[in-house]
Amino acid sequence: MNRWLLKVKAKTGLIQVIRPLTSYSIDNTMHSMTSSYERELRRVLAGLESGVKAVTRSCSELEKAKAMQVIHRPFLVVRAAGSGMEGSGDLLALRGDICFPIEVKTTKARKLYLSGRTWDQYESMQTEGNRCGLMPLYAHRLKGVRGDSWRIFRVETTTLNGRLKMLQRRIPPLPLTRNGKPFIDWEQGMPLHKFLALTCRTEGSKRPSILDDLVNLHTESESALGV
């Protein structure tokens, strides 16, 4: 009976058996909440139009157009195997030219400091990134904000080549505390729509896109105003 409690109702005298709120149940609740946001991100990276529209509902038209580029160059997104695959993150986003292990974090606070299990996760991702020549990412979802609520960071590694080496210069790394330890600061991350525009742009494509039309319209408006 150490895992269960007996509760006596005052009015009826009936005994109700209830389960206490243990650390196990708290962890399960948090995992369930994070899993729903994992699914949200997975639908976006997989190029599902409904998924992209859902996360960009309150974004500007330009931000929506940038995010929509993933529809034409989607990723195959799979859930990582779990504790048996340290360093693989929560999701793996794969495409012919690139592959990202992604660790998903969801908070109400704009900053998240890594310690204990979350620090072990970071070190494992960095180790595997260096060992396999990959760029591990953190995707931070901030709750309660309008617009693009996702921010992307990369884990610092030293063995990148090819396309990943070029992307390294554009995607921000996790910032450092005053003691030089990586942490997550939502304000310093790359918005998801910019990440999608960066990684899903079709090189050498001559076909005009919605994004091109919006950029041209913005340029024409500035010219008309004499900017």
The secondary structure of the chain in percent helix, strand, coil, rounded to multiples of 5, reads 40, 20, 40
Domains of the chain: 33-202 (3.40.1350.10)
The larger pLDDT score, comparing residue 203 to residue 21, is at 203
Percent of the chain with pLDDT over 70: 72
In this predicted structure, what is the pLDDT of residue 16? 47
Ramachandran region of residue 222, left (φ > 0), alpha (ψ -120 to 50) or beta?
A: alpha
Q: Residue 215's pLDDT band (boundaries 50, 70, 90)?
A: very low
Q: Residue 86's pLDDT band (boundaries 50, 70, 90)?
A: confident
The larger pLDDT score, comparing residue 163 to residue 30, is at 163
In this predicted structure, what is the pLDDT of residue 208? 44
154 sits in which H/E element: strand 150-154
In this predicted structure, what is the pLDDT of residue 204? 54
Q: What is the DSSP string of 32-97?
A: HHHHHHHHHHHHHHTT-HHHHHHHTTTS-HHHHHHHGGGGTSPPEEEE---TTSTTS-SEEEE-SS
Mean pLDDT value of segment 42-71 = 97
In this predicted structure, what is the pLDDT of residue 33? 55
In this predicted structure, what is the pLDDT of residue 181? 97
The residues, ordered by sequence, that sit 6+ positions from 184 with a Cβ below 8 Å of its Cβ are 105, 111, 112, 113, 114, 138, 140, 153, 174
In this predicted structure, what is the pLDDT of residue 20? 47
In this predicted structure, what is the pLDDT of residue 202? 77
The residues, ordered by sequence, that sit 6+ positions from 181 with a Cβ below 8 Å of its Cβ are 114
Q: What is the pLDDT of residues 105-133, one digit of tens each?
A: 999 999 999 999 999 999 999 999 999 99
Q: Which residues pair with 15 in a beta bridge?
A: 8
CB 87 within 8 A of CB 136: yes
Token reading at 206: 């001559």
- The answer, yes or no, to whether residue 161 has pLDDT greater than 50, is yes
Q: Lowest-confidence range among 27-31, 122-126, 200-204?
A: 27-31
Q: Lowest-confidence range among 19-23, 51-55, 103-107?
A: 19-23
Whole-number average pLDDT of the chain: 82
In this predicted structure, what is the pLDDT of residue 48? 98
What DSSP designation does 115 have?
-
Q: Which residues pair with 138 in a beta bridge?
A: 103, 153
Token reading at 89: 């993150």
- The answer, yes or no, to whether residue 21 has pLDDT greater than 70, is no
